[in-house]
Structure formats: structure tokens, C-alpha cells
């Protein structure tokens, strides 16, 4: 299945989940779903499965869609006035600008909780479902994304040391990127040793993703980003670029990608072609 087909499958699954009812809640949820996004995390899950020669079945699609629901929820909440206070996301008005703050909070709440309903509907064994639920909850809750966001908002105007910045981003952004690697390993019924290797690769890619995001935030336009550029700089937030400078940040990005590729090549019976293609999206075009 090519990347466009994978994205369409994810969109279909997400929209089907919310198709039964038409009201302000489903309108605001589907507004954010339809506003696009790269679907980077589902593409990672599909490409790791492909590496193990496993198809992106309807069941695997539900797992990837559940992940994308939580990701979308986090973007809606991240844009709220009490968080990043953004007017634009993915080139269109943010959810709260379009539907009001209360509706946006509820859309984010639903997109955070519905994934566990979707996961429970998959035809995987109970053992696999429980593991997926545990990993997704850990990646998104206080051990992961929410925990990272809390460190982030409480450390504005503070000079974070490199290790502290790394921990912040491993939680806030990294954990949700580790999940598709681990989930694919679980679905493909790989050994614990292989799942641990996948987790480490996910950690490198998660970090690379954040460094890439910090770099393009200062080097790209509103049109390219779909949101206001240089906002972290204006708000005096610690980023890889503010901490290390642009050149060192670029170097660190290429090191993280190289480390991930090295580890991918060490995976047994794994065809890396499709995954390498997704990872390539993080390389800077210059």
C-alpha cells in the first residue's frame, strides 16, 4: 500500500467512527480530522509492519487511527489560549477559533478517550489489545506527552540544560512517535528483544522529529508550516535551536537519523525500504 492509500485509509477510519451523529461536537472533531496533517505516526506504523512483511489490515488501521486521534486531540488542546494560544493550525483556523473554546476542549476530550473504544473493537487477541492500550496510555498520559507538556509550560523563560530538554521532548513528542514502532512490533508478534530494539529506534526518530520541528520553525514560512513561525523564539521557550544554535541542531538531527538507520539495519528479517522513505521526510532539503 502506498503512502497516499495509507493516509486515505486512516481518514476513512477516523471519519467512519464519527459518522453516526451530526452535531456541534462531531462537527468540531471532524473539522480537525479533515484539516489534514502529515499522518506521520500512522505512516510509521504501516511502514514498520511492511518491514516485517505484514499488511496494513483493517485492524492495524484502527490502531494507527487511534494514535492519530490522540495526536489530533493534543494539537487542539495545545492551541488553546491557556496553552500556546494559536490562531492557525495546518493552514486553517484552530479549532477554538472556529468553534469556541468550550467546544474545542470537548472535541479534544473526545479524541483523547474514543481511541480506547476503537482499540477495544479490534479483532486482535485480548492480550495484544491490553498491551496496545497500555502502551498508548503510557505514551500519551503523565509518563509521556501530557507529562512533557507540563514540563514545557512550566519551564518558559528558564534556561533548560541539554539533558532536561531531551527529557522534555522524549516525553512530549517522542513517546507518541515511539508508540507506532512498539505497536507494530506487538501486532507483528515480534520477540521482546525486537520490540526493545524498535523502542530505541522510535526514541531516535522521536528526537529527530522534534529537532526537525524546531529547525523548520525558524527557517520556514507561515505557508510552509500552516501556523505562525518563530513562536517559540518569541515566547522565549527552550528549543534545540535556541540551546545549540542552528548548525549544531542540524548536526544533531543528522546524528539521530544516522543512529536510527544503523539500528534499523540491525533488525533481523526486516526490509527497511518503506520505513527509510518515511524517515527521509525528516532530512532537511538544502
Give residues in contact with ligand GRG (CB under 6 A).
37-38, 40, 70, 73-75, 77-78, 83, 90, 108, 112, 140, 145-146, 149, 172-173, 213
Residue whose CB is less far from ligand GRG, 9 or 77:
77
Q: Nine-digit cell at 248?
A: 549544531
Q: What are phi and psi of 166, to 5 degrees?
A: -65, -40
Those residues whose C-beta lies under 8 Å from the C-beta of residue 79, and which sit 6 or more positions away, are 85, 86, 89, 94, 95, 96, 104
CB-wise, 54 or 277, nearer to ligand GRG? 277
Q: Minimum Å distance from CB 38 to ligand GRG?
A: 4
Q: Smaller CB distance to ligand GRG: residue 37 or 185?
A: 37
- Which of these, 102, 95, 74, 87, lies nearest to 171 by C-alpha position? 74
Distance in Å, CB of 173 to ligand GRG, minimum:
4
- Smallest gap, in angstroms, from Cβ of residue 198 to ligand GRG? 19
What's the farthest any 2 CA atoms get from each other in the chain?
Answer: 50
Beta bridge partners of 159: none
Radius of gyration of the chain (CA): 18
Measured in Å, how far apart are the chain's first and last C-alpha atoms? Answer: 29
| Beta carbon nearer to ligand GRG, 198 or 278 | 278
> CB of residue 34 vs ligand GRG: minimum separation in angstroms?
12
Contact indicator for 42, 92 with CB cutoff of 8 Å: no
Contacts of 82 (CB under 8 A, 6+ apart): none
Please report the beta strands in the chain, taking only residues with DSSP state E, as ranges in sequence order.
Answer: 88-89, 92-93
Which of residues 77 and 237 has its CB atom nearest to ligand GRG in the complex?
77
Q: Is 52 helix (H, G, I), strand (E, B) or coil?
A: coil
Identity of the residue, 144 or 185, whose beta carbon is nearer to ligand GRG in the bound complex: 144
Tell me how far, at minimum, the Cβ of 189 lies from ligand GRG, in Å: 28
> Residue 215 in 3-state DSSP?
helix
Shortest separation between residue 176's beta carbon and ligand GRG, angstroms: 7
CB of residue 216 to ligand GRG, shortest distance in Å: 9
**Looking at beta carbons only, is 104 or 188 nearer to ligand GRG?**
104
Residue whose Cβ sits closest to ligand GRG: 37
Rounded to 10°, the helix 101-120/24-34 angle is 80
Amino acid at each position: 500500500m502506498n503512502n497516499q492509500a495509507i493516509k486515505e485509509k486512516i481518514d476513512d477510519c477516523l471519519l467512519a467512527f464519527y459518522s453516526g451523529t451530526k452535531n456541534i461536537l462531531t462537527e468540531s472533531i471532524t473539522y480537525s480530522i479533515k484539516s489534514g496533517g502529515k499522518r506521520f505516526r500512522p505512516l510509521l506504523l504501516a511502514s514498520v509492519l511492511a518491514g516485517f512483511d505484514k499488511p496494513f489490515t483493517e485492524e492495524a488501521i484502527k490502531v494507527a487511527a487511534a494514535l492519530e486521534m490522540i495526536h489530533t486531540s493534543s494539537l487542539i488542546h495545545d492551541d488553546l489560549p491557556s496553552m500556546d494560544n494559536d490562531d492557525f493550525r495546518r493552514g486553517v483556523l484552530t479549532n477554538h477559533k472556529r468553534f469556541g473554546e468550550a467546544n474545542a476542549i470537548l472535541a479534544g476530550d473526545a479524541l483523547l478517550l474514543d481511541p480506547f473504544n476503537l482499540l477495544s473493537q479490534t479483532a486482535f487477541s485480548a492480550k495484544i489489545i491490553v498491551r496496545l492500550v497500555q502502551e498508548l496510555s503510557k505514551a500519551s498520559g503523565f509518563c509521556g506527552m501530557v507529562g512533557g507538556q507540563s514540563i514545557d509550560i512550566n519551564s518558559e523563560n528558564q534556561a533548560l540544560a541539554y539533558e532536561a530538554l531531551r527529557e522534555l521532548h522524549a516525553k512530549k513528542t517522542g513517546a507518541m512517535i515511539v508508540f507506532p514502532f512498539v505497536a507494530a512490533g506487538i501486532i507483528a508478534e515480534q520477540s521482546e528483544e525486537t520490540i526493545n530494539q524498535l523502542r530505541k529506534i522510535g526514541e531516535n526518530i522521536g528526537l529527530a522529529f522534534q529537532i526537525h520541528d524546531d529547525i523548520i520553525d525558524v527557517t520556514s514560512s507561515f505557508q510552509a508550516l500552516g501556523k505562525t513561525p518563530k513562536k517559540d523564539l518569541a515566547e522565549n521557550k527552550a528549543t534545540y535551536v535556541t540551546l545549540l544554535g542552528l548548525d549544531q541542531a542540524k548536526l544533531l538531527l543528522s546524528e539521530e537519523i544516522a543512529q536510527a538507520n544503523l539500528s534499523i539495519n540491525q533488525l533481523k528479517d526486516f526490509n527497511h525500504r518503506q520505513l527509510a522513505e518515511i524517515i527521509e521526510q525528516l532530512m532537511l532539503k538544502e
